[in-house]
Structure 1
Amino acid sequence: MPLRRPLMPAVLIGAALALPLSACATLQRGPVGNAAVPQPAKPVDLSRYAGLWYEIGRYENGFERNCEGVTARYTVRDDGLVGVLNTCRQGGVDGPEKTVQGKAKIVEGSADAKLKVSFFGPLYVGDYWVLDRADDYSWSIVGEPSGRYLWLLSRTAQPSAAVRETLTARTRALGYDLNLIRPTQH
C-alpha cells in the first residue's frame, strides 16, 4: 500500500496559513462603537494629508496594545500608492519605539477619502476611511465600516482645547461612542 506523503506538505501549508488568518480574524473582535458608520464627509487632497499625524485618541485594539506616543506618517508614492509608517512607544511615552510600515491603495470613486491599507502583505487588507477632517488639515477622524476602529488625529501632539472640543463634537455627531475612546499620551 503506497504512503500518502504528498498530503503532509499540504496539511502543513494549510496549518501555516490558518494561523495568520485566524490572528487577523481576531482583530475584528471588540465592541462596536458605531453601528452606522457614515460615509466620509469631504474629499481628501492626499498631498495635503501627507505628513506626520499624532494619535490623540483611539478605540483600543490589539495591534496598539500598550502603545503611547503614537504617530503615523503618510507619503504619496510615485507608484500612486500611499506609504504608511506607524510608530508607537511600547509601555509608555518613554518606552522603546516600535514601527511598522505599510502601504495603502486609494479606493476608486471615493474622492481619495477611502483607502485599503496593508501592513502584512496581501493576507490582510484593512479599510481606512477619512471620515472627516479640518479644512486646513489640522485634525482628522479616521474609521472603517465595522465601527470597531476609530482614530482621532492631530498635526500636533498637544492640540489646543478648541481642537479637542471640535474633534469630540464631530466624533459624537458622526455617531461614535465617546466612552470607548482611549486617550493617547504624548
Structure 2
Amino acid sequence: MKAMRLLIIIAVGTLLTACTGLPEGIRPVKTVDVNQYAGTWYEIARLDHSFERGLSDVSAEYQIQDDGSLKVINRGYSTEEGTWKEAEGHAVFVDENRTGHLKVSFFGPFYASYVIFRLDSEDYQYAFITGFDRDYLWFLSRTPTVTDKALDDFRAVAEAEGFNLDELIIVDQSRNRP
C-alpha cells in the first residue's frame, strides 16, 4: 500500500511539474525587470491552441502582487460568440535571479512554462514567448500593431530557434486600436 501511495505521489508531482521546463536549446533572457514588464501587452502573432482558438484582439495584463508574483489577465474577443473572454492566472519566477523563466497557472495547482526568450530589454516594447516546448509561441508588443520589419524579425528569430511557423496566426487587433 505504501509503495502504491508513493507511486501516486511521484506521478502527481511529475504531472504538476512536467510542463514547467525549458525547450531544448532555448535560453530565457537573463534578467526581467518586473516593474518594466508589468502592464498591458498585445498578442501580435501566435501558434494556435485550443485555449485561444477563434480569439482575436488578445491582450495580457500583468499586475505585480505584494509577494512579487504576477496576476495575469488574458483577454480576447470570440468572433463566433460575439463576446469577450477573460481568464485570470498567476505567474511566478522559477528562480530568484528573475530570469525570463516563469511558471503560470490558470487552473489551480497546474503550472506551465512561460519562457521569455527575446525581450527589448531597453524599452520593454516587445517580447517573444514560448512554453515548455516549441508548440507554443507568442509575439507580444506594447502596441496592438507593429511594423512589417518587427514581424519579419520575429519570424526570423523564431525560425532560427527551431519553431515551425506553418500554422502561425497574425492576430487581428482591430478592436484594440485607438
Tell me whether the two structures share a fold, i.e. TM-score over 0.5: yes
Q: Which runs of 4+ in 1 moved over 2 A?
A: 109-112
Tell me, in whole angstroms, the C-alpha distance in 1 between the residues paired with 2:48 and 2:56.
Answer: 12
* Preserved CA contact (<8 Å) 1:46 1:112: no
1:109 Cα deviation after fit: 4.9
Matches within 5 A, 1:152-167: 152-167=139-154
Q: TM-score, normalised by structure 1?
A: 0.75
Q: In structure 2, give the amino acid aligned to 1:125.
A: Y
RMSD (CA atoms): 2.3
Aligned to 1:182: 169
Aligned to 2:34: 46
* Preserved CA contact (<8 Å) 1:42 1:132: no
1:30-85 Cα shifts (integer Å, max 9, x gaps): xxxxx745111442111111111110111110111111000000111111111100
Structure 1: segments with no counterpart, 5+ residues: 1-20, 29-34
Alignment partner of 2:124 out of 137, 141, 144: 137
Seq. identity, %: 33
Aligned to 2:155: 168
The aligned length equals 154
The structure whose Rg is larger is 1
Q: In structure 2, give the amino acid aligned to 1:111.
A: R
Q: TM-score, normalised by structure 2?
A: 0.78
Task: Determine which structure has the larger strand proportion and give its number.
Answer: 2
Tell me, in whole angstroms, the C-alpha distance in 2 between the residues paired with 1:37 and 1:163.
Answer: 23
1:112 equivalent to 2:99? Answer yes
Structure 2: segments with no counterpart, 5+ residues: 1-11, 174-178
Tell me, in whole angstroms, the C-alpha distance in 2 between the residues paired with 1:44 and 1:154.
Answer: 16
